Amino acid sequence: MNAILNYLWEGSICLLLLYAFYRIFLAKLTFFSWNRAYLLLALAIVLIIPQLSFKMDASPDPNPVTGSLQYFLPESEIHISPEGASTTVPLWFQITTWVYLSGLLVSVLRFFMGLNHIIGQIRSSAKHTYEGNTLLIHPDFKPSSFFHYIFLPEYLPGNNDQRLIIVHEQIHSKFFHTIDCLIFQVFRCIFWFHPIIKLMENSLYEVHEYQVDYEITKSHSKADYSHLLIHLIWTGGGRLVNNFNQFQIKNRLKMMAKTKSTMKEKFTFLLTLPLMGLLIVLFSCDPQEEASPAPPPPPVEVFDVVEIMPRPSGGLEAWNQYLANSLEYPSEAKAKGITGTVYVTFIVDTEGSIQDVQVFQGVGSGLDEEAIKTVKNAPKWEPGTQRGQKVNVKMRLPIRFGLKNGSSDQDNLSVGDFIGKEEDQRKGELKVDASYAKGLWSGTVQDPKGHTLPGATIVIAGTSTGTVSDINGRFIINAGKSENLYAHFGGYKSVKLIDK
């Protein structure tokens, strides 16, 4: 019920502003059809605008990337026992609700009683057909109309004044003024409490009379018609019918004598547009609370070196065999005689799957793409561990593509691996700064000029266990101090690790 009272409150303010605009800017204009349309439109606006709701949210999208991961807390539920539930309604609210509902009920009853009274009058009166209208004759009737029915106290076919009265009511019927009356009475039932409702009702019926007066004076003398109005002053009949004299004759006579408004004055109706915009902003645009940005997803920690590095299923020998069987020398590179080493990085996650395969130093001509494709399709590895927990580890892999002279196309593929090839040592001997502590070998691999070498392999002799140096040439491997470890990199002479 609170929402209904709020709706009525907002509608009441809309009604006040719309009617004030009419009285200030439009009431004195002679554009009667336009004024009638404005008043009816005002009723619709009062009913509709408070029901509209537009969210005004100027805050930036806290998560602009569609499909990005988000972390949500579990939905909380609060259960309240019936004994602890309290729904106390303020006394003033209860009184206001009952007063409004009582007034609404009385207004609706009056509306239907008025309709029933008119239907009873139609049934009990004598009827005559006149130029498409039905004349209802009864001594208690006063000149008025309801749709195509025209109420008259008596029927005088040769009387000029009555003929003018009938023409007047026929014009009411022609313009469907009865529909306006019914619409307004339904509206009045809803806003029965509003003090402006009576004034707006009078303005609507006044415009009806102005329309009819204007039409009649096109073909009849204004003097004769004014004389008839003065002699037929009457205020009865109810609000569901168009009475002949519902308003002050003085205003109607003034309007008939008024100079017709100019076309420039019609632009005054354009002022209704900013008024509509104001009402929408005031009553239909709800400020939306700025949403707190979603917390960023927790960062996934990726290690470069861990206590136990990931290793391929089946060891390095099986890995090298997989590369040799899976890699295909691209035809473009083969035709151009392009060789070289593609350095690939990838992450071995906690499940052993290979993720995020990238080239950090490539050759081109299809060699980079072939290396990425082969590594992505590789079987799972055994994940690395740090302090007994499986972790994500970033690996670096050099894959060397070479063509051997004088051999068939099938033999022209030479794939570099972790171990490297001893036949190509023209670049000199590797430098390794290694040390041993608490079961771990660690250090840095460099070329003869002192530049760090990422992707160098460190292998325990006689086993398939090893690791690869990171982007800074660093490595760490779990091995005994007495075991022989060798560092390898394509084009350089391998060296044995020696504790400093």
Does residue 117 register a pLDDT over 60? yes
**pLDDT at residue number 73:** 31
Q: Cβ atoms within 10 A of the Cβ of 126, count?
A: 11
Region 419-500: CATH code:
2.60.40
Parse the chain into domains and list their residue ranges: 2-53+91-287, 308-417, 419-500
Tokens standing for 339?
């060789």
Average confidence (pLDDT) over 366-387: 88
Per-state percent for the chain, helix, strand, coil, to nearest 5: 40, 20, 40
pLDDT at 151: 94
Cα-flanking dihedrals φ and ψ of residue 52, to 5°? -75, 155
| Fold agreement between 308-417 and 419-500 | no
The reported pLDDT for the residue numbered 1 is 61
Query: Mean pLDDT lowest for which of 241-250, 263-272, 420-429, 430-439?
Result: 420-429
Query: Do residues 39 and 203 make contact, with C-beta atoms less than 8 angstroms apart?
Result: yes
* Cα distance between residue 233 and residue 464, in whole Å: 117
Whether 427 contacts 492, CB under 8 Å: yes
Is the predicted pLDDT of residue 20 greater than 90, yes or no?
yes
Picking from 448, 444, 466, the residue whose alpha carbon sits closest to that of residue 457 is 466
> Strand 466-468's sheet: what is its strand order?
466-468, 457-460, 485-488, 495-496
pLDDT tens digits, 185-200: 999 999 999 999 999 9
Q: Which CATH architecture has domain 308-417?
A: 2-Layer Sandwich (3.30)
- The pLDDT-based confidence of 281 (bands split at 50, 70, 90) is confident
pTM of the model: 0.52
Up-side HSE of residue 70: CA atoms within 13 Å toward CB?
Answer: 12
pLDDT band at 295 (very low <50, low <70, confident <90, very high): low
To the nearest 10°, report the CA torsion of 225, 228, 229, 233. -170
Confidence (pLDDT) at 137 = 95
Residue 357, phi-psi category: left (phi > 0), alpha (psi -120 to 50), beta (remainder): beta
Q: The dihedral of CA 238, 239, 241, 244: what is its sign?
A: positive
Tell me which range, 18-27, 52-61, 249-258, is most confidently predicted by mean pLDDT. Answer: 18-27
Distance CA 500, CA 483 (A): 15
- Of all helices (H) and strands (E), which one includes residue 17? helix 2-21
Is the pLDDT at 132 greater than 70? The verdict is yes
- Residue 358's DSSP bridge partners are 345
